Structure formats: structure tokens, C-alpha cells
Structure 1
Amino acid sequence: MTSLLVFSDLDGTLLDHHTYSFASALPALQTLKTFAIPCVLNTSKTFAELASLRKQLNHQDPFIVENGSAVYIPKHLSLYVDEALEDCGDYWLKSFGPKRDALIKLTNDQQTTYNFKRYSDMTWQELVSITGLEEENAKQSMQREFTEPMIWHDSNIALTAFRKYLADFDIQIQKGGRFAHLMGKYCDKANAMLWLKQVYEAQGDENMTTMALGDGENDVGMLSKADIPVVIRSPVHAPPEVPNRSDAWLTDAYGPEGWTQAINLALSKQGIL
């Protein structure tokens, strides 16, 4: 068993930005399974969204939801964790921040000061028109547990002021591909990745090599903390810069095609392929 541990964003990375297809990534996903390399989904998506997507992918590894707000560990993996976790049926849950209701309550009186629209202010029909999601997927996306996405209609200056206001309550705003996400201060894709890396290393594999793949601003923290940071080229925005990481890879192809290229290159460099 190799010591490589893969963390992957979904939208625009493993999933095509426009079609949400992952077809071109399936061969590389199968290769990871063949070599027993965990592929941890690290996404802004919800548990409800991932329940159906993981079935389509035949995904058996842990997954991180809502931009690093929580880690779900399938119980069948028998990963030992030296702290109390929440029992969620087939999964153990590690959460890093407050529940969604607290975020909604905190920002209710700010809509007269700043111009934004939250998920909780939208119907599923509005979300479909914004994202192109199918009805069922849109409804699953609205089943948030730890974050509240919003469309930011105001200026960057106003966003800075809003962030400063929220910081006093240990709440942050992370910008993704389409939405800005209200979330707890310690909810972060990087924090969740590093926590899960420690879990795997505690099983006896002391020096795991982390590979992270993402395409958006909300992936930068995860990319900056990974041993192998991979920026997936996007058809709709410029590649995000990863501070102090001149070794970050930038794929030639977009989305899942670029993802596959990067996985195959990493496995080759690791001497696995």
C-alpha cells in the first residue's frame, strides 16, 4: 500500500464545470482504487448531494463537506480516531464549526447594510436557474448543515467590511466558483485535510504524501498545505494563485480531463505507474 493520499475538489475539478460529468476521470479513479490509494472528496457540496454522487462514483473513502466544515468517515473503513466523534449511522462525523441556523440568524439584520442573497432566501427554482442543476440536485444542495452560501451583489470594499464584522463572531466568508460561503472561522478545506491526514498517519503510515486538486479560490488553502498542489484549469476563470508555492502544478486540460492527467503524472512520479 502506498503512502499517497489524494484530496479532490468536485465542481470544476473532478466534475466538469458546465455538465457536472466525471466520465473522463473514471479510469484514473479506478487506478487509485487498484492501488488502494484513498481519494477524499473535499468539496463545498452537502452530505445530501454526496450521498447520491458517491454511489455513482462507487466512492468508499472519507469525504469532507461544505468547504471543510465537517469530515464523514465511513465506519466500514475501521479508521481509529483518538477523539470523540458524532455517530451518524454509517459514518463517524467530525465537525469544525457552528450549525447553519446560527449563521442565518447572525446575518439576518445585515441585508439592509449589504447587498447579498443567501440560499435560505432562495427557492430551489431560483437555484436551478443560477447553477443549471437538476431539481433533485438543487434541493440536495439546499440541505446545508454547517454553511450558508450566498450570492454577493455588493462591492469588494463592502465584502471586506462584512468580513470584518463577521470576524468578531468567529465567522468567515470563503469565495467559491459561484457563491460566497458563510462558515465558521475554523471551517477550512486545509484544516480538514490536515486533520484527516493525521488520522491516516495514526494508523501506522507515518509519512503520508498529500496531493490536493482544485480550481477555485476556496481551494487555495488546501492546495497551499498539500505536498503536491494541483491547480485544475477552468474554462470560466483564471487559475487561482497558490501563495509561496512555486511548485504548484497547473493542468493543460480543463476539469476532469486535467484531473486525470495530474493523477497519472503523480502516480508516475511516485513510481506507482
Structure 2
Amino acid sequence: MTTTLIVFTDLDGTLLDHFDYAFTDAEAALFSLKTLAIPCVLNTSKTYAELLELRLALRHKDPFIIENGAAVYIPANSPLVNIHDLERRGDFYVQSFGPKRQHLIELSQSMKSRYDFISYHDLSTEQLMEHTGLDYQTAELSLQRDFTEPLIWNDSNAALERLRHELAAQGIKAQKGGRFVHLMGAQCDKAVAMNWLKQAYQDTFHEDLKSMALGDGENDVGMICEADIPVVVRSPVHVPPEIPGRYDVWITDSYGPKGWSEAINKALVNEGFI
């Protein structure tokens, strides 16, 4: 059985620069993956609407995972088997793992009197631009969510733990990302979506796949922990997250897309691709 590689990557602060969302330093490594026919799966907190635009800029043709593992989108022309029974959305088949956003909005509104946060649903485009540095068009796309509801968390860490406990009883979790706390279904996770898609590749190509996961934040810990090649991309704004039970984690020397490229190139050498 042939062994090959599949890359799963976070975007903000990882493939994209934390401050200006540029990916210039990653372009050469992205081209290497494409040349070697190594799938590069975007595994992000971003929305479907955001990914449609970003994939054009990245010239991305592979499947992608949105809203912290809430759903996998597979291009309709993909050779992956057993996808045609999935929900169809435009040019993609969709495997979802959690409830729709409206349920999460209603839940967050019911908790506003007990916790100090601002819900994404309550933000105008201009307010989101102020919080994130996104331009107007990208901020509008970010507000078009399907499966998750981000919160700007202004309360204590202790209060966040109480919220998590309260939500768990309702099958919902609160996951902390780079800028927001994301409400989502308990089964929505970057690692769950990663493993589901990896299995789809294995079922189709009958190859022994080695997964590589790259991320910089708490919401990336699960997928990094379960990857064959775990990579933490160094951030300019916070310390590297701990990856429990893994003592083989690569922590990049450089920040963001430059560090991402370092890790990709190292993996390609180590795995004998170049």
C-alpha cells in the first residue's frame, strides 16, 4: 500500500498572517504541494462565504472545512467515493456535524444576562471590522455563518468555564479561538472533520495516508493532537498552545505563513517528496 501525505491547515495566524491576512510567504510551499498532488485542506473558523473568495486567491481546489469543524465541503468534481449521498450546496457536497446557527443565536441571547460578551449576531459590519481588522467586504462575508456563533468574550476565564458547563448539558460547546469564543455543536471539531475526510480519502484511493496538521490557537489543538505530523505555528500575539500527550510537536521558528512554509518544506524533505 502506498503512503502519501494530506495537509490540514488553519488559516488566520497560520497560513495567513495574523495582522494583514497575507500569504505571500507561503506561496512557494503551496505551489510545492500542488505540484506534488498533495491535498491541502483548509480547516478554519472562517465561513463558507469567506472561503469561496479566499480559495480563488489561493487557487485552492481541494476540500475545505469551515467554522471550526462544523462542516466539510467537497468539490462536486472530486473523485472521492460515497459523497453523492451528501447534501449538495452549489458546486460542493456537504457533510455537517452540528446544529444550524439560528439555534446557537437563540441560546446565546438567553445567556446575555449572566455573562459579559458580545455576540457576532449583534455586531454591525463596521464593528466587526474594528474588532478584527478585516476590510468591509471580508467582514460582511464573515457575518454569513451557518453552523457557529462567535462571541467576543469580555468576562473572566472562570465565567467561561461556567458557560461551558452550562452549554455541555445542551449538547453545545464553547471553543476559544484566536479572537473569539465559538459556540457550536458538541460534535463540531476540527479533529472530527479532519478524521472524517482522511477516511474518505483512504476509502477512495486505498492508500495509507499520513496527516499533517498546522495551527496556532486553542481551537487547533484537537486536530494537531490527532495528526501524524503535529505542527504548532508560532504566533506573534500569544504563546504556543500545549498539545497534550504529544512530545513530537514541531514548533516553528518563524511566525505565521513563514513558519508554515518552514514546516511544509521540512515535512516534504522528511517524507521523501523532495
Please tell me the TM-score bracket, short chain as reference.
over 0.9
| Unpaired segments ≥5 residues, structure 1 | none
1:247 alignment partner in structure 2? 248
TM-score normalised by L of structure 1: 0.98
Task: Give yes or no for contact 2:79–2:204 (8 Å, CA) kept in 1.
Answer: no
Cα distance, 1:62 vs. partner? 0.1
SS in 1 for 2:65: strand
CA distance in structure 1 between the partners assigned to 2:91 and 2:83 by the alignment: 19
SS in 2 for 1:14: coil
Please give the residue correspondences for 1:90-239 in structure 2 after superposition, counting only pairs within 5 Å: 90-239=91-240
Deviates more, 1:236-245 or 1:76-85: 76-85
SS in 2 for 1:77: coil
CA distance in structure 1 between the partners assigned to 2:105 and 2:40 by the alignment: 32
CA distance in structure 2 between the partners assigned to 1:218 and 1:83 by the alignment: 30
CA distance in structure 2 between the partners assigned to 1:142 and 1:221 by the alignment: 25
CA distance in structure 1 between the partners assigned to 2:114 and 2:212 by the alignment: 41
Cα distance, 1:206 vs. partner? 3.3
CA distance in structure 1 between the partners assigned to 2:75 and 2:45 by the alignment: 19
Deviates more, 1:136-145 or 1:78-87: 78-87
Task: Give yes or no for contact 1:103–1:147 (8 Å, CA) kept in 2.
Answer: yes
Task: Give yes or no for contact 2:3–2:208 (8 Å, CA) kept in 1.
Answer: no
Cα distance, 1:251 vs. partner? 0.2
SS in 2 for 1:169: coil
| Unpaired segments ≥5 residues, structure 2 | none
1:45 alignment partner in structure 2? 46
Cα distance, 1:76 vs. partner? 1.4
**Which 4+ residue blocks in structure 1 deviate beyond 3 angstroms?**
none
- Residues 122-154 of structure 1 show CA distances to partners (whole Å, capped at 9, x for unaligned) of 111000001110000000000000000001111
Identity, in percent, stands at 58
RMSD: 1.1
Task: Give yes or no for contact 2:101–2:148 (8 Å, CA) kept in 1.
Answer: yes
Cα distance, 1:82 vs. partner? 6.1
1:60 alignment partner in structure 2? 61
Task: Give yes or no for contact 2:152–2:181 (8 Å, CA) kept in 1.
Answer: yes
Letter in 2 for 1:23: T
- Residues 194-252 of structure 1 show CA distances to partners (whole Å, capped at 9, x for unaligned) of 00000000013331000000000000000000000000000000000100100000000
Letter in 2 for 1:149: P
CA distance in structure 1 between the partners assigned to 2:92 and 2:216 by the alignment: 28
CA distance in structure 2 between the partners assigned to 1:81 and 1:113 by the alignment: 45
Task: Give yes or no for contact 1:224–1:245 (8 Å, CA) kept in 2.
Answer: yes
1:88 alignment partner in structure 2? 89
1:77 alignment partner in structure 2? 78
Letter in 1 for 2:261: T
- Residues 133-186 of structure 1 show CA distances to partners (whole Å, capped at 9, x for unaligned) of 000000000000000000111111111111111111100000000000000000
1:269 lines up with 2:270 in the alignment: yes
How many matched pairs?
273
Cα distance, 1:109 vs. partner? 1.7
